[in-house]
Structure 1
Amino acid sequence: MTTPATALATTATASLAEPPVRFRDLIAAEWIKMRSLRSTPWTVALITLFVIGSATVATLADKAAGSEPADFLAYDAYPPSGYMTLILVAGSMGTLTVVSEYSSGLIRTTTVAVPDRGAVVLAKAVVTALLWTAVGTVASIGSFLVSQAILDGRGAGVAITHPDVLRPLVASALLAPVCALVGLGLGVLLRHTAGTMLTSVFALLMLPTMFSESNRWSADAKHLMVSAAWTRLVQTWEPNPGSLGYTATLPGS
């Protein structure tokens, strides 16, 4: 009698067991967490408007100065002031994706529900990449269209199909998700709000300024960093190697 009863109990327990968590369920859960952060909607909206506004101001400033460019003005469509701010914001929001759970204690619930931490981190990375790719794409295309609308009045505008447009357009669109993922990775490693935020700012914005292009090893290190790589990719002209040092030491830089 005992054996059949035990078998029945085991079968009943197995039938009541929860099914394994599917990855798409993790994606949905992480998206809900992302939206639940009160800072997410207004931060995304404000940084997008700020980047496009920076392109507007940069283009109008060139117009006011009376300059007559002969080719595509990369720094009007993609001004460093706007995009360096985007680097800061995207990196910070990427860190909050992780450290906010540690500060609130929600991470304990998450790990109980899904013991596979690798799957949780991957789901966070997918959601973060999708969100900030959308933000970067809107900001990049918006910056280009606004600047060219102004430049058209001066006879200096170019179409989006111009051969010099694609590289800076794509590089600027991907800048936000790359920085957000760097911030997320730092959050996974450090798990402390203040420390992770400071490290993110230092790694993304301050560290590249400590390396020059006068020496090969220093240039190699600098060209591996996000902000330096973006700056080089949005340039539509070839720098003078003799005057600027090692400006392109890595393939594709």
Structure 2
Amino acid sequence: MTAVRFRDLLAAEWLKMWSLRSTPWVYLVTALAVIGFNVGQAYDIYHYWTERNAGSAREYVRDGLPVQVAFTANAGNVLALATVAIGIVAITGEYSTGQIRTTFTAVPARRSVMAAKAAVMTGVMTVFGAVVAFVSFFATQAILDLRDVGVPLSHPNALRAVIASALLAPVCALVGMGIGALLRHAGTSIVAGVAVVLLLPFFFSNDHHWSAVIAHILPMSAWNRLMEIPFTPQIPYPWTFTGAWLVYAAWALGAAAVTVTAVQQRDH
């Protein structure tokens, strides 16, 4: 039997992803929801801006608040939840329909199949996250500019926030794929995904060292750290931006490894 080239597996996974009519709509709705939260916040600031606010415009910009408006907590949560779900369905969908058996019959190299699936998801989600992040930033700053408090991408911390928000999409999608590969049931996997990404951070704080350590290794905590602005109050156990980037990388690589290896350990 002729070995299947990895680029052919990539092409097959690309076709699988876009053969579903719902795929473009899922991405569109997610993008509109995320951008909508941020633009809505920017419009509220524009609409309720008063003469008193105008007097402190310089401080508003200096403190980096326009960057915070570009990526609100609600928008980050929606993006994380949606991309985790997309990653989960990319795996569990094939198991629920039985298509995965056909795939593995045609291509016995299971790890290669799952690696291709993870690679395609990573590429698509990186582009998707970048589009959403950049559109959100420039749209919100255009609205804030109407009150002379919008900032350019070169503003301190702005580019970091854009990149962190863009990469949140592929990180969470890969986490979803890893969970889906382990549990293989859509409902159970989504519950687990929500718990890992959105709920766990609420159970840990920076008040105690052990709790801070756990909080710091969670993906949404890393995103929040990368979104922090200069005047954030001091916390007992602070961590660095480099640490937050490493958490991103660890979750992405770890989840990809689980996705690739879990399938080899089961269904023999």
Q: What's the counterpart of residue 32 of structure 1?
A: 15
Q: What's the counterpart of residue 45 of structure 1?
A: 28
Structure 1 position 248 matched with structure 2 position 239: yes
Q: What's the counterpart of residue 37 of structure 2?
A: 54
How far 1:163 moved relative to its partner? 3.1
- CA-based RMSD of the aligned residues comes to 1.6
Structure 1 position 211 matched with structure 2 position 204: yes
Quick check: 1:56–1:146 contact (8 Å CA) kept in 2? yes
Which one has a bigger Cα radius of gyration? 1
How far apart, CA to CA, are the structure 1 residues paired with 2:214 and 2:231? 20
How far 1:39 moved relative to its partner? 2.6
Quick check: 1:239–1:247 contact (8 Å CA) kept in 2? no
Residues 22 and 89 (structure 1), Cα distance of their counterparts in 2 relative to 1, 3 Å cut: same
TM-score in terms of structure 2 length: 0.83
Give the match's secondary structure for 2:207. coil
How far apart, CA to CA, are the structure 2 residues paired with 1:137 and 1:91? 17
- Structure 1 unaligned spans of 5+: 1-17
Does 65-74 or 183-192 show the bigger shift? 65-74
1:67-82 to 2 correspondence within 5 Å?
Answer: 67=53, 68=57, 69-71=60-62, 72=64, 73-82=66-75
Deviations 1:52-98 (A, max 9, x none): 11111111112233243133322210011112111000000000111
Deviations 1:113-165 (A, max 9, x none): 11111111111111111111111101100111011101112111111122321
Does 36-45 or 68-77 show the bigger shift? 68-77
How far apart, CA to CA, are the structure 1 residues paired with 2:37 and 2:206? 28
How far apart, CA to CA, are the structure 2 residues paired with 1:48 and 1:88? 12
Structure 1 position 166 matched with structure 2 position 149: no
Size of the aligned set, in residue pairs, is: 234
How far 1:201 moved relative to its partner? 1.0
- Return the letter of the residue paired with 1:230: W
How far 1:38 moved relative to its partner? 3.2
Structure 1 stretches of 4+ with a deviation exceeding 4 A read none
Deviations 1:9-49 (A, max 9, x none): xxxxxxxxx42100000001111111123331101011111
Give the match's secondary structure for 1:70. helix
Question: Identical aligned pairs, as a percentage?
Answer: 41
Give the match's secondary structure for 2:243. coil
- Return the letter of the residue paired with 1:203: V
- Return the letter of the residue paired with 1:108: R
How far 1:51 moved relative to its partner? 1.3
Structure 1 position 94 matched with structure 2 position 87: yes
Give the match's secondary structure for 1:94. helix
How far apart, CA to CA, are the structure 1 residues paired with 2:228 and 2:136? 15
- Return the letter of the residue paired with 2:102: T
Quick check: 1:55–1:78 contact (8 Å CA) kept in 2? yes
How far 1:249 moved relative to its partner? 6.8
Quick check: 1:223–1:250 contact (8 Å CA) kept in 2? no
How far apart, CA to CA, are the structure 2 residues paired with 1:245 and 1:51? 32
Q: What's the counterpart of residue 176 of structure 2?
A: 183
